């Protein structure tokens, strides 16, 4: 990959997106009271899936920054912390986000002895409390606050003694089940339509938000400062920016969770044991709502499976990948670095670029990321990649994701003399579509890549060339 468009132009696009949304928010601010919502993520940091934990975290943080989310809260399940995932908490903090307690083992309260459950909370507290951006909020795993009133009261007093507040949600949903459907399709080798996956993700979550807000207005008499429950997963990394943009376009304001938890409903402890749909639903139940009207289809696995099929997100395919592509993937795995001395400028300060390729699930695809370095130190991330064999099209396919919902999609093929050609179409909301071509060939000096942009007349116009050197590993 050559970074001329993958590094320089995404930054211009990001600036454009920020200007666009700033203008939109100025218009919105002149209207009546804006509805507000905070973004929170459970189960962080999740283990590797089709993305590694690090790839997911970096893509998620890029999307939050690009869409103007200044502060989210990550509820950490500490059993996932190890030498590889602990640095992810530092990444969250460096971007100004908050860390909170989601237990150690992620237990059901009503299925667990209270002493065991409380010790589990303490184990997580000890692992998290020294982080500078830690805030003493506890979110019950599964939103299970107990099904016995005595246990509920004892747990509330236990948390108060520790100095914790309830990290409740007002918008519940099964984004985790959408993630399961997506990951199952990836593991099966299905062809994934990410445009449809994005639309399904936005539609389901927006419907859940509208549902919770209607319930609040009907039974609480107002729209509170909402708290959205999401999970630290691949779909969030891919589409959180698009969801935020959709919310803002509907006139909603994204606020810090700390501000959301200052809403009066934070002090309204529900009397009901019906707490599994969040704070708004529980208070509505106290006010006389039936359970049936409080549960949305976003919490129905069968309905989400139907929608996943209806949106045609995944298509089952089957065809063996060719030997040349297997060899290509094997040769690419690792970290490649190139000098940017020829193109470095005040607006492009990077001394070098690097691209990392790692195996995806089952070693039948590659995950990658492109980032800049300044004097040997990693700086900005620009793109994440997915390289795989599209059996239905019988072609090697390269997908890439960048700032503000930008997507590159195209195919790879050998064209003789050891050369590999990639042709991709790049698109993004409110940004001109264009087509790029990349040629690469392995030379004695390294991997030589050259990029071209297609003109309106259909001609390929040369842009940049780089020579990439594969970096040695500890095993070397």
pLDDT, one tens digit per residue, over 179-230 is 999 999 998 888 899 999 999 999 999 999 999 999 999 999 999 999 999 9
| pLDDT at residue 338 greater than cutoff 80 | yes
| pLDDT at residue 25 greater than cutoff 50 | no
Query: Within a 10 A sphere around the Cβ of 123, how many other Cβ atoms?
Result: 16
Residue 458 confidence class, pLDDT cut points 50, 70, 90: confident
Average pLDDT over residues 466-474: 91
Q: Which of 315, 336, 358 delimits the end of a domain?
A: 315
103: which DSSP letter? -
25 lies in some domain? no
Specify the number of domains making up the chain.
Answer: 2
pLDDT at residue 22, rounded to an integer = 42
289 & 350 share domain: no
| pLDDT at residue 6 greater than cutoff 50 | no
Angle, alpha carbons 307-313-315 (nearest 5°): 120
Average pLDDT over residues 8-22: 38
pLDDT digits (tens, 9 = 90+) for 283-310: 999 999 999 999 998 899 999 999 999 9
pTM (whole model) above 0.85: no
Query: Within a 10 A sphere around the Cβ of 368, how many other Cβ atoms?
Result: 22
330 & 309 share domain: no
239 & 363 share domain: no
Average pLDDT over residues 138-166: 98
171: which DSSP letter? B
Host domain of residue 345: 323-470
| Stretch among 170-174, 248-252, 257-261, 452-456 having the lowest mean pLDDT | 452-456
234 & 367 share domain: no
Average pLDDT over residues 37-46: 97
pLDDT at residue 333, rounded to an integer = 95
Residue 408 confidence class, pLDDT cut points 50, 70, 90: very high
311 & 408 share domain: no
Query: Within a 10 A sphere around the Cβ of 149, how many other Cβ atoms?
Result: 10
User: What's the whole-number average pLDDT of the chain?
Assistant: 90
| Stretch among 93-97, 416-420, 465-469 having the lowest mean pLDDT | 416-420
28 lies in some domain? no
Residue 135's Cβ-count burial label (10 Å; 0-12, 13-18, 19+) is middle
400 lies in some domain? yes
88 & 187 share domain: yes
392: which DSSP letter? T
Q: Which tokens in the block code for residue 187?
A: 């593991």
373 & 286 share domain: no
| pLDDT at residue 15 greater than cutoff 70 | no
303 & 402 share domain: no
Percent of the chain whose pLDDT exceeds 90: 81
For residues 281-299, one letter each, b for 16 or more C-beta atoms within 10 angstroms of the residue's C-beta and e for the rest, the string is: bbbbbeeebeeeebbbbbb
């Amino acid at each position: 990959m050559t970074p001329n468009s993958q590094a320089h132009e995404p930054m211009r696009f990001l600036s454009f997106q920020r200007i666009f949304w700033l203008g939109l928010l100025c218009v919105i601010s002149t209207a009546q009271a804006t509805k507000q919502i905070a973004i929170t993520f459970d189960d962080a940091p999740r283990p590797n899936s089709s993305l590694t934990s690090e790839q997911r975290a970096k893509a998620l943080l890029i999307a939050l920054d690009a869409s103007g989310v200044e502060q989210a809260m990550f509820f950490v399940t500490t059993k996932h912390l190890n030498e590889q995932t602990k640095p992810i908490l530092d990444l969250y903090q460096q971007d100004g986000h908050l860390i909170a307690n989601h237990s150690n083992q992620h237990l059901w309260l009503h299925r667990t002895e209270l002493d065991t459950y409380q010790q589990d909370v303490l184990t997580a507290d000890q692992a998290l409390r020294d982080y500078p951006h830690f805030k003493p909020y506890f979110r019950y795993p599964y939103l299970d606050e107990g099904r016995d009133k005595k246990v509920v009261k004892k747990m509330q007093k236990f948390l108060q003694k520790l100095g914790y507040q309830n990290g409740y949600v007002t918008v519940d949903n099964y984004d985790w089940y959408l993630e399961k459907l997506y990951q199952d399709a990836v593991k099966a080798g299905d062809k994934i339509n990410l445009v449809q996956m994005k639309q399904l993700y936005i539609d389901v979550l927006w419907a859940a938000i509208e549902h919770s807000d209607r319930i609040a207005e009907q039974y609480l008499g107002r729209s509170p400062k909402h708290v959205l429950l999401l999970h630290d997963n691949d779909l969030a990394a891919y589409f959180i920016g698009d969801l935020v943009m959709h919310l803002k376009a509907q006139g909603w304001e994204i606020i810090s969770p700390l501000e959301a938890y200052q809403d009066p409903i934070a002090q309204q402890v529900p009397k009901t044991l019906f707490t599994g749909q969040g704070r708004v639903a529980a208070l509505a139940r106290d006010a006389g709502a039936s359970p049936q009207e409080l549960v949305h289809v976003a919490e129905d696995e069968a309905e989400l499976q139907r929608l996943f099929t209806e949106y045609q997100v995944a298509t089952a395919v089957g065809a063996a990948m060719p030997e040349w592509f297997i060899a290509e993937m094997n040769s690419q795995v690792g970290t490649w670095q190139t000098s940017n001395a020829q193109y470095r400028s005040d607006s492009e300060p990077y001394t070098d670029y690097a691209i990392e390729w790692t195996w995806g699930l089952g070693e039948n695809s590659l995950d990658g990321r492109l980032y800049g370095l300044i004097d040997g130190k990693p700086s900005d991330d620009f793109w994440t990649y997915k390289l795989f064999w599209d059996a239905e099209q019988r072609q090697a396919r390269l997908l890439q994701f960048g700032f503000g919902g930008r997507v590159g999609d195209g195919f790879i093929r050998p064209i003789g003399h050891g050369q590999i050609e990639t042709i991709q179409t790049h698109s993004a909301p409110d940004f001109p579509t264009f087509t790029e071509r990349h040629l690469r060939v392995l030379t004695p000096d390294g991997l030589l890549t050259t990029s071209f942009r297609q003109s309106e007349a259909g001609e390929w116009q040369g842009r940049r060339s780089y020579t990439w050197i594969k970096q040695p590993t500890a095993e070397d």
